[in-house]
Structure 1
Amino acid sequence: MTTHEDSSTVPHPTVASESFWEPHYQRNIRPWTGLPNAVLADITADLTPASVLDIGCGEGGDALWLAGRGWTVTAVDVSATVLERARAQAAERGLTANVKFEKYDVSQSLPGGSFDLVSAQYFHTPIDIPREQVLRRAAASVAVQGLLLIVDHASTAPWSWNQDPDIRFPTPQDALKKLDLDDDHWQPIRVDAAQRTASGPDGQSATVTDNVIALRRIGREN
C-alpha cells in the first residue's frame, strides 16, 4: 500500500499546534484516496468491531475505513479545516452514525472514556509537544483487553524536510521503552520494524521503514 508523505512540513518548535496545522491544511488540498494506513488495516483485519479513538486523524482515512467496517470511531485533530473535510467524506459515504470528528489539541487533552482500540498513526509534528506524555495519556484511554496501536516513522523519505544525515531513529524497542508503560499490564502483540512503499507530493515513491507497537491491555494499575 502506498502512503502519501508531505514535504512541506518544516520545523516550527515555538508555534502552537493549531497555528501551524490550520494554515497547513488550508493551503494543502489533496485528492481523496480513502485508503487506511497499511499496518492499521492488517492489525485490525480480524478484530471484532468496537470503539476506537483515532489520534491526529487528518482527513480521516483510517477513521472512515474503520467506520465502514462497523467500528464506532471518535477521531480527533487540531485543524478545523481538515475535520470539515473528513465530516464531508463521512456524510458522502453514509457513515455519520459511526464516526464523529472532534477538534482537540492532543498536547492538552483527549476525549474522556475508554476505547477498545486507540490508534496513533504517524503521530509526528514539527511543533514542540510532550509526545511521550500524549501517548501515555492515550494508553490510559485503552480499555482492558483493548489494543494500543502506534506506528512511527523509522526512516526519512527522500523528499522529507529533515535530511540530516546524522539523524538516528529509535528502534521499536526504544520507542516502547520511552512510553514507560507497566509490563504487568500490557501484552506485546507486535513490536517490530516494517517496510512499506511511500509516495511523495510529486509522485515519487520510496521504500521507507516504520516502527510498529501494538499492545493489548491486560489490566489497569491500582
Structure 2
Amino acid sequence: MTGEPGGAATDAMQFWDERYVSRRTEHGRIWSGDVNSTVEQQLKGLPPGSALELGSGEGADALWLAAQGWNVTALDISSVALAVGAAEATKEGLSDRIEWVQTDLATWRPSAQYDLVMSAFLHSPVEFPREAVLRRAVSAVAPGGSLLIVGHGGFPPMSEHAHGTDFPSFPSPDDVLASLHLPSGWAVETNALIERTAKWRDEQDVVLVDTVLRVRRDE
C-alpha cells in the first residue's frame, strides 16, 4: 500500500481512519461485507478483465469482482478500511486478484487503463473534489471498457439528515453525466434512479434510491 501524507490529505485520512474504527460493529467492520445489489445488478455477466475501484472502503465490491474473475485495483484513503478488505481477501483466497492501494483521490491521477472503472457512493462529509475525480477516471477506461458510477439519490428516510436542509442535494444521473464532459465515442448504457431494499441500523427494511450511470467507451 502506498500513501500520500501531508496537509489536507492527512486530515482526510485521519477523518476516515477514525470513522472506520469508531463505527465498527462486533464483526470488525462498518458495512455488511456484501456487494452492493445495484453494483451487482449492473456488472453481473460482464466478461471479467481488469478493474479499478475508486473509494473501495472495506472492499465488499472489490471482493465480489475478484470472485467473478476480475483483477482489481482498489483505491481508498483509509488504511484501516483497506486492511479489513485485505484480511477478507486472504480469508477467501482472493489476495492474488486484488491490489489494495492507499491514496488520496483528491490528488490521484490515473497511470493505467482498465476494462472497468467504478465508484460506489463516492460521497464525503469532508471537502472532496468528487466531480474532478470522476472526470479523471474517464481517462482510466480502456477502449471497449465501462465506467460505472453509483451514488446516493437521497438520504435514507430514517436518517437524521433526511428532512433537513443543512446538506446539499445529491447529483442526479444526468448531473453526473454532464459533469464528466465525455468526448465523442462513448455510449450511455444506464442512466437511472434505481430503488433497492436494505437493512437499516435497527435491522428494519428501508427503501433506498441509487443514482446509476454506466457508460461504455467505444473507441
Band of TM-score, shorter chain: 0.7 to 0.9
TM-score, structure 2 normalization: 0.87
Higher mean C-alpha deviation, range 206-215 or range 195-204: 195-204
Other-structure match for 1:48: 47
Other-structure match for 1:195: 195
Q: Percent identity?
A: 35
Q: Structure 2 counterpart of 1:118, which letter?
A: V
2:130 & 2:121 partners in 1: Cα distance? 12
Q: Deviations over 1:132-187 (max 9, x none)?
A: 000011111010110000011112113435234455443321221122222x1210
Paired residues of 2:9 and 2:104 also in contact (CA < 8 A): no
SS of aligned partner of 1:105 = coil
Paired residues of 2:82 and 2:102 also in contact (CA < 8 A): yes
Other-structure match for 1:175: 176
SS of aligned partner of 1:25 = helix
Q: Structure 2 counterpart of 1:143, which letter?
A: A
Q: Deviations over 1:102-127 (max 9, x none)?
A: 10111111452001000100111011
SS of aligned partner of 1:70 = coil
1:169 & 1:103 partners in 2: Cα distance? 26
Matched, 1:205 2:205: yes
Other-structure match for 1:17: 12
Deviation at residue 42 of structure 1 after TM alignment: 1.5
Other-structure match for 2:85: 86
RMSD: 2.0
Paired residues of 1:188 and 1:214 also in contact (CA < 8 A): yes
Q: Deviations over 1:25-46 (max 9, x none)?
A: 1112233643211122122211
1:102 & 1:146 partners in 2: Cα distance? 22
Deviation at residue 87 of structure 1 after TM alignment: 0.6
Note the 1:40-189 alignment, pairs <5 A. 40-166=39-165, 168-182=169-183, 184-189=184-189
- Alignment coverage as a number of residue pairs: 206
Which residue of the other structure, out of 19, 22, 27, is the alignment partner of 2:22? 27
2:194 & 2:58 partners in 1: Cα distance? 24
SS of aligned partner of 1:145 = strand
2:111 & 2:45 partners in 1: Cα distance? 26
Paired residues of 2:49 and 2:71 also in contact (CA < 8 A): yes
Gaps of 5+ in 2: 1-7
1:77 & 1:205 partners in 2: Cα distance? 29
